């Protein structure tokens, strides 16, 4: 095991996966010569050549669209969107083709492409470098979505995405690219899609989160340690959701608080709450609560902390639920 | 060789008008080739005309008519090798016929039956693209991907004049140019995007001028002249296959039929211009050319038409004989690994 930052783990994954499968290639803006603006693809161009780590023109729909064609030519393309909000020009391709092409061929052709991007706020960046767009992706039929919260999962989920014959979108918490370090298995490391992870065992309340909200929930659990025992469930794969793990934890604690950075309305937390309403009614001792971002454009960075779910807001929700 | 009519901005033509404009010929085409092109034209024309009838009879759904677009499709496909990939829009829905796809399959597509979806690799014909211009990057990606693998296949993408205003056209064309992808960007300039005339689509003098912006060659050709289209595409394909990258072909024609069966063009189109175009439609034009050349004998032409008509009779009969699709298909094929919820969903759908 090596101690790596989250972004180093992603880079490690690329070196392993491009090394083991000659059909895997990386394309995106500034991924080659620069090694990616966050250096996630550093060294790939030197090791595997400019064709397998390709600097594309500045064109997100072009990147995703070309990747569809590359799949038809037998490649397994991994597309980097430079930032969360700059993936929006590519949504057209994602919705109209990436998620539909296999279906359109009656299952005859596979589209094993991966789209990955840094997402989320808290990094004191200018406008449109802070979005949490997971719902757009989750809501697109034919596409799977994963969000790691640890370096090991960043490597393992990306490897699973690359090896999946279905298109997978991986969102990486850029806030923790360099601030989070952890043990990462060396060599091949795959974390199966569709499996949640208990980040922390607890018995009174379950905090359900993914990505950058997982470390936040762990801090909230620390904060609440004298009052109650919090379980933290890291969803890891948003689609397909590990319902079993969610329902098991809800059954165990009887209380659920969902924490999501994205705007509230119709966010992924609403889906989690709906699953609990449908399948965990009798296990719950109180309402499912959500702590989320607000239904506003992600704010200017001087006041961005007001938008982000905080330890205090999570703790408040937990206390409210315990009193219910 | 193709000739250029100076008044018409580099518009390449081969077929004359039987009067002041003399006939040309395309080097290397044998009499057999000329008749094969005729067969392709008749096949497409028959498919189109029968489809309009089937629509009226309620046997297929809404249908995008390609009457007078056959020369662009038949001429360009004849310039391809079997290994080359075709990326059609809805306007080229029946182009697979030229690659041996059964009429049944395409009719089922327009009937909304799942058996109308095919495996692109069976014919090297991609799925029919409905969202305008979004398949241009696919053609670029496929061609580039083949080139990276050392394969020699070329891709051709068909799109309309309106499509050149879309971001996807631009991103795809630029991507193809930058990667040197062996692609032919084939623009069917029928001068209308539903009710929007070309003049409201662009201020460019000619669509072919857009090639300059991508640093790629452009060819402007008479889209109603199957031989000129063939020759232009042959040139573009040869360049692509030998490492010369993409070419933009602007084939100029005129939409002489409604956009689709659901469209009533009387509100926007000039009926006299349409009448004029219909008189000069591409299949008749080619048949007159072949007759002037003494190549087309009427009995043989009749035979070709009869074969095409039979193919359509068989196609629609087979399509209609196919059992209705099972609702379980709703959940199939979108994923390699279906979502866990689908099992419950299907049970619920069946009333269980
Ligand atoms: C992205 C997108 N926008 C709008 C439409 C609706 N639409 C269908 S055909 C058409 C006109 C296309 O014109 P053109 O590109 O000239 O092709 P043509 O139909 O003339 O062959 C429009 C607007 C669509 N299919 N896709
Ligand atoms: Mg048009």
pLDDT 10s digits, A271-322: 999 999 999 999 999 999 999 999 999 999 999 999 999 999 999 999 999 9
Instruction: Name the pLDDT band for B1 (thresholds 50, 70, 90).
Output: low
pLDDT score recorded for residue A1: 87
**Which domain does A313 fall in, by range?**
197-323
Q: Does domain B3-321 have CATH number 3.10.150.10?
A: no
* B112 and chain A in contact, CB less than 8 A: no
Same domain? A274 vs A316:
yes
Q: How far is Cα B94 from Cα A211, in angstroms, rounded to an integer?
A: 47
Q: Is B75 in the pocket of ligand 1 (CB under 6 A)?
A: no
pLDDT, average across residues A86-94:
97
- Ligand 1 atom with the smallest distance to the CA of A92 is 1
Whole-prediction pTM: 0.95
pLDDT score recorded for residue B16: 95
Same domain? A171 vs A219:
no
Instruction: Give the domain-ending residue among A132, A158, A184.
Output: A184
Annotated domain spans of chain B: 3-321, 327-352
- Chain position carrying tokens 């029928």: B190
pLDDT, average across residues B117-130:
97
Name the minimum distance, in Å, from the CA of B285 to any CA of chain A. Answer: 37
Share of chain B above pLDDT 70, in %: 98
Contact A104 B127 (CB under 8 A): yes
Same domain? A137 vs A66:
yes
Residue of B138, B153, B337 to mutate, testing the A interface (most A Cβ within 10 Å of its Cβ): B138
Instruction: Name the pLDDT band for A193 (thresholds 50, 70, 90).
Output: very high
pLDDT digits (tens, 9 = 90+) for A221-237: 999 999 999 999 999 99
- Ligand 1 atom with the smallest distance to the CA of B69 is 21
| Residues of A assigned a catalytic role | 129
Same domain? A93 vs A224:
no
Q: How far is Cα B182 from Cα B175, in angstroms, rounded to an integer?
A: 11
Domain annotation covers residue A12: yes
Instruction: Tell me the best of B66, B188, B194 to mutate to test the pocket of ligand 1, counting ligand atoms within 8 Å of each CB and taking the most.
Output: B194
Share of chain B above pLDDT 90, in %: 95
Name the CA dihedral angle for B339, B343, B344, B348, rounded to a multiple of 10 degrees.
Answer: 120
pLDDT score recorded for residue B10: 79
Q: Any idea which ligand is nearest the CA of B133?
A: 1
B336 interaction partners in chain A (CB closer than 8 Å): 102, 110, 164-166
* B32 and chain A in contact, CB less than 8 A: no
pLDDT score recorded for residue B4: 61
- Does residue A240 contact residue A193 with C-beta atoms inside 8 Å? yes
Same domain? A224 vs A171:
no
Residue of A72, A75, A99, A245 to mutate, testing the B interface (most B Cβ within 10 Å of its Cβ): A72
The answer on pLDDT for A194 being more than 90 is yes
Instruction: Name the pLDDT band for B352 (thresholds 50, 70, 90).
Output: confident
Q: How far is Cα B34 from Cα B64, in angstroms, rounded to an integer?
A: 28
CATH number, domain containing residue A210: 3.40.50.920
Contact A102 B144 (CB under 8 A): no
- Helix, strand, coil % (nearest 5) of chain B? 50, 10, 35
Same domain? A231 vs A311:
yes
Instruction: Name the pLDDT band for B9 (thresholds 50, 70, 90).
Output: confident
Domain annotation covers residue A191: no
Name the minimum distance, in Å, from the CA of B141 to any CA of chain A. Answer: 4
Cβ contacts from A onto B, under 8 A: 147
Same domain? A175 vs A276:
no
The answer on pLDDT for A73 being more than 80 is yes
Q: Give me chain B's average pLDDT, please.
A: 96
Domain annotation covers residue A190: no
pLDDT digits (tens, 9 = 90+) for B61-103: 999 999 999 999 999 999 999 999 999 999 999 999 999 999 9
pLDDT score recorded for residue B187: 98
Same domain? A102 vs A216:
no
- Does residue A314 contact residue A291 with C-beta atoms inside 8 Å? yes
Same domain? A21 vs A147:
yes
Number of domains making up chain A: 2
pLDDT score recorded for residue B170: 98
Contact B121 A243 (CB under 8 A): no
């Amino acid at each position: 095991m090596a101690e790596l930052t989250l972004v180093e783990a992603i880079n490690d994954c690329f070196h392993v996966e491009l090394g083991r499968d000659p059909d895997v290639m990386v394309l995106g803006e500034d991924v080659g010569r620069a090694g990616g603006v966050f250096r996630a693809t550093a060294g790939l161009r030197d090791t595997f050549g400019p064709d397998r780590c390709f600097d594309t023109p500045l064109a997100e729909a072009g990147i995703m669209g070309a990747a569809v064609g590359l799949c038809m030519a037998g490649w397994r393309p991994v597309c980097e969107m430079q930032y969360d909000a700059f993936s929006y020009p590519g949504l057209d391709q994602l919705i109209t083709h990436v998620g539909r092409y296999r279906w359109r061929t009656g299952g005859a052709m596979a589209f094993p492409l991966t789209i990955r991007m840094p997402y989320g706020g808290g990094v004191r960046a200018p406008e449109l470098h802070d979005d949490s767009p997971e719902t757009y992706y989750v809501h697109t039929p034919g596409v799977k979505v994963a969000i790691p919260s640890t370096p090991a999962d960043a490597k393992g989920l990306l490897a699973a995405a690359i090896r999946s014959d279905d298109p997978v979108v991986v969102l990486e918490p850029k806030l923790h690219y360099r601030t989070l370090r952890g043990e990462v298995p060396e060599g091949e490391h795959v974390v199966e899609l569709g499996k949640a992870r208990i980040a922390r065992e607890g018995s009174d309340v379950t905090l359900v989160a993914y990505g950058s909200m997982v470390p936040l929930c762990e801090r909230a659990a620390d904060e609440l340690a004298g009052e109650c025992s919090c379980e933290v469930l890291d969803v890891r794969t948003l689609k397909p959701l590990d319902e079993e793990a969610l329902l098991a934890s809800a059954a165990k604690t009887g209380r659920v608080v969902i924490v999501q950075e994205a705007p509230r309305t119709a966010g992924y937390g609403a889906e989690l709450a709906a699953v609990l309403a449908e399948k965990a009614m009798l296990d719950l001792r109180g309402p499912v609560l959500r702590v989320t971002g607000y239904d506003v454009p992600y704010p200017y960075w001087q006041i961005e902390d007001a938008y982000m779910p905080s330890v205090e807001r999570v703790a408040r929700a937990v206390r409210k639920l315990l009193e219910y | 060789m193709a000739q250029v009519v100076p008044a018409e901005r580099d518009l390449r033509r081969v077929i004359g008008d039987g009067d002041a404009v003399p006939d040309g010929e395309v080097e290397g085409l044998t009499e057999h080739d000329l008749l094969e092109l005729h067969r392709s034209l008749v096949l497409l024309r028959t498919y189109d005309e029968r489809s309009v009838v089937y629509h009226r009879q309620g046997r297929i759904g809404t249908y995008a008519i390609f009457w007078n677009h056959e020369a662009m499709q038949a001429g360009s496909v004849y310039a391809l090798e079997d290994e080359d990939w075709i990326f059609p829009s809805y306007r080229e829905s029946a182009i697979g016929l030229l690659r041996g796809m059964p009429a049944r399959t395409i009719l089922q597509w327009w009937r909304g039956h799942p058996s109308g979806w095919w495996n692109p690799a069976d014919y090297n014909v991609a799925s029919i693209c409905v969202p305008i211009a979004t398949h241009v990057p696919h053609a670029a990606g496929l061609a580039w991907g083949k080139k990276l693998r050392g394969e020699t296949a070329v891709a051709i993408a068909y799109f309309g004049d309106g499509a050149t205003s879309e971001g996807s056209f631009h991103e795809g064309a630029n991507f193809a140019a930058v990667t040197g992808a062996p692609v032919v960007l084939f623009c069917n300039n029928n001068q209308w995007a539903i009710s929007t005339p070309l003049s409201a689509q662009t201020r460019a003098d000619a669509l072919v001028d857009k090639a300059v912006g991508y640093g790629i060659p452009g060819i402007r050709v008479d889209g109603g002249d199957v031989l000129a289209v063939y020759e232009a595409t042959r040139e573009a394909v040869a360049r692509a296959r030998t490492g010369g990258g993409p070419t933009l072909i602007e084939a100029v024609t005129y939409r002489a039929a409604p956009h689709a069966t659901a469209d009533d063009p009387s509100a926007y189109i000039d009926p006299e211009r349409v009448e004029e175009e219909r008189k000069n439609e591409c299949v008749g034009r080619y048949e007159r050319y072949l007759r002037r050349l003494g190549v087309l004998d009427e009995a043989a032409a009749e035979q070709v038409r009869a074969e095409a008509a039979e193919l359509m009779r068989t196609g629609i009969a087979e399509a209609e004989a196919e059992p209705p699709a099972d609702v379980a298909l709703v959940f199939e094929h979108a994923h390699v690994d279906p979502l866990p919820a689908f099992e419950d969903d299907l049970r619920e759908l069946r009333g269980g």
